[in-house]
Amino acid sequence: MEEDIVLVAPNCGAFAKRQFPSRRLIAILDEAQLDAFLASCRASSLTFCGTWRQLTVRVSRALAQWAIQEPERGCGFSLATNVSPQMRPRRPLDGNRVYEIIDGFPATEHNAAGRQVIDSNFVIGRLLDPNLPAPSGVVITGHGSEYCIRLDSRWFSTFNTAFLTDPIILPSFKLGDVIFLNCCSSLKLGDSCVPESYSLAALLFSLGSAVIGSFRNLHTSPHYAAVFAQALLQGNSLGEIVNRLNAESNRFERGVAFQLLGDPLHRLSPVNIRPSIGPLQSRPPQLPLPSSLRRALEDNLGLELLSAALTRWIPESSALAEIHANVKDLTESAGSTDHAWHITGLGEEEVAQLGQFFEHQRHALQLALITALAQSIQTTGWIQTRYATFCRRLSPTTHTCARCGGVSNWTRYEPFASYLPTVHREECDHCGTTQERIGDGPQLTILTVQPEASSVAISIPTPPQRSQGLLLFHRMPSFAPIPWPQNGGKVHIPYTALSFLGRLTLVAAVLSPKCLALQYHTFFVCPDLPHEMV
């Protein structure tokens, strides 16, 4: 291959000479001349130097398509600007690490030791502290556009706007040596509707970072982030990294998508790491997901159905509404793994990390959901009054009560709306209301309630797998619900913990991903003699 060449757009010659004094400069007057030059160019790298308006999608695509013909090639944009290096805010660099931040997931640190999953708030805190060294590279994956990108529960943006409802961070200093904005159209420049003064890529570039991004909309993938991080630490030039990203997007998207705002020859000192990211490998659509990801998706779909029902039945609960929104977001993330696994070839390590993440998040949301439900039952009473008007009540069927052996009736409530679950409710002639089952799941083993001298003793079976449960009392809001022991056992509730005595109904609620099961035990504690129970 030949030398590294700078292509100079009209009226940018003086800037290009100052910026690239040792490289060959070639004037490019229009797009037709650019196409003719690229058709026979054998250079190692091409840098297109132009004003904002001259750095168009058409030029981005032409350079990227030229570069991917040879894996060693590189290309990039040089923005003719009045900001000199001396005018840019200075910040020391840590050349041994690259941070990867993905909206809704834990962060990842890439370094010589490999990849470590770390808390995203810790990473964001380090990035936003100008007194700490900036990392070699930062890749942010999430929703975004020319002026903003999602950063966990916040937004990086060039201006404050009510359109972005979460807190906004306005970058004001260098965040890293190289920033990869892994979102749609982050490096759509001259022909974007967003002007230069509001471009996030242009702002980060003016603060001293090289910026990689996409010049069009695309299916954003964490795979691109991992490719970038490894290639940067291995000492590849930025032009080569962009070329590799475009080779991946060409397989994935059937077309190039990425460009560089910076010097394509810039590279970091290599870190001795073991290669772990290979070319994107797609899988046939009919190939099933790994069991951990399939279970995560199915569990979240089931939990979303239950949270939708509770939110619909108990509309006054702001806590339930917030939890339901979080469950929907988690279902979205779980659903995206199907696409990521089939198209972007997630490896075993990524699958394991995602499986653990979804399990942890689902567990937390289940607990929040059943806690909010418990508050409603303790405050307002029976849940049956909530769902009955949304369902068609079918004729009951007669059974034998598992608790007392008497006659019981099971009634099925079929929802009018398809997005709501079916409900089964048991009423016993002797025990009264004994249980409800919302959604699809096995019946719980019956609890037993026994009086003791100063407390109620409850024998509790082992709950279903991947479930959370609480013990509470109907219409007793002052009672703090007791977690259901994961291994079962016996729980003692002292009478002194109850805000009133007399006729009481113990509610045992268990929430698994696809079923909400409730048992009811009604008994009497003599107000004058607390140790007596009927």
Secondary structure of 20-52 in HEC code, one letter for each residue: CCCCEEEECCCHHHHHHHHHHCCCCEEEEEECH
Q: Which two tokens stand for residue 96?
A: 């041994």
> Side chain identity at 13, as an amino acid letter?
G
Q: CA 124, 241, 92: angle at the middle one, nearest 5? A: 40
d(CA 314, CA 387) in angstroms, rounded, equals 9
Count of positions (residues) in the chain: 534
Tell me, letter by letter, the H, E, C secondary structure of 407-454.
Answer: EEEEEEEEECCCCCCCEEEEEECCCEEEEEEEECCCCCCCCEEEECCC
Tell me the pLDDT tens digit for each residue of 380-438: 988 999 999 999 999 999 999 999 999 999 999 999 998 899 999 999 999 999 999 99
pLDDT tens digit sequence for 82-122: 765 555 667 877 778 899 998 777 888 888 877 888 888 89
Share of the chain above pLDDT 70, in %: 94
What burial class does residue 311 get, using C-beta atoms within 10 Å of its C-beta: 0-12 exposed, 13-18 middle, 19+ buried? buried
**Mean pLDDT confidence for 447-472:** 90
Give CA–CA dist 508/5, Å, rounded.
73
Integer CA distances (angstroms), 326 to 74, 296, 308, 335, 368, in order: 42, 15, 11, 14, 11
* DSSP reduced 3-state for 184: coil
Tell whether the model's pLDDT for residue 183 goes beyond 60: yes
What integer pLDDT is reported at residue 167 of this predicted model? 86
pLDDT at res. 18:
93
Q: What is the pLDDT of residues 335-373, one digit of tens each?
A: 878 877 776 667 777 788 888 889 999 999 999 999 999
Q: Which residues pair with 428 in a beta bridge?
A: 408, 432
The pLDDT, as a whole number, for residue 341 is: 78
533 band by pLDDT with thresholds 50, 70 and 90: very low
Distance spanning both ends of the chain, measured CA to CA? 93
Q: What pLDDT is attached to residue 351?
A: 84
Encoded amino acid at 364, one letter: A
C-beta of residue 197 within 8 angstroms of C-beta of residue 227:
no
- Token output for 403: 């608790």
Among 448, 518, 514, 450, which residue's Cα sits nearest to residue 481? Answer: 518
Q: Which residue ranges make up each domain of the chain?
A: 4-79, 88-261, 291-380, 384-525
Q: Which of 310, 273, 298, 279 is nearest to 112 (CA)?
A: 273
Is residue 280 predicted with pLDDT exceeding 70?
Answer: no
Give the predicted TM-score (pTM) of the model.
0.64
Helix (H) or strand (E) holding 194, with range, is none
On whether the CB atoms of residues 359 and 296 are closer than 8 A, the answer is yes
Whether residue 5 is predicted with pLDDT greater than 90 in this model: the reply is yes
* Higher local confidence (pLDDT), 439 or 332: 439
What is the chain's mean pLDDT, rounded?
Answer: 89
pLDDT reported for residue 400: 95
Higher pLDDT, 512 or 348: 512
287-301 confidence digits (pLDDT tens): 888 898 999 999 999
- Tell me how far CA of residue 368 lies from CA of 213, 422, 486, 503, in angstroms: 38, 22, 17, 29
The torsion angles phi and psi of 49, rounded to 5 degrees, stand at -105, 120
Place of tokens 């509001």: 198
* Nearest partner of 104 among 306, 303, 328, 318, judged by Cα: 328
- CA distances to 44, 70, 324, 366 from 303, rounded to whole Å, are 54, 49, 9, 8
For residue 61, pLDDT over 90 is answered with yes
CB 400 within 8 A of CB 327: no
Strand pairing report for 93-102 and 134-141 = parallel
Residue-wise burial string across 494-515, b where 16 or more C-beta atoms lie within 10 A, e elsewhere: ebeebeeeeebbbbbbbbbbbb
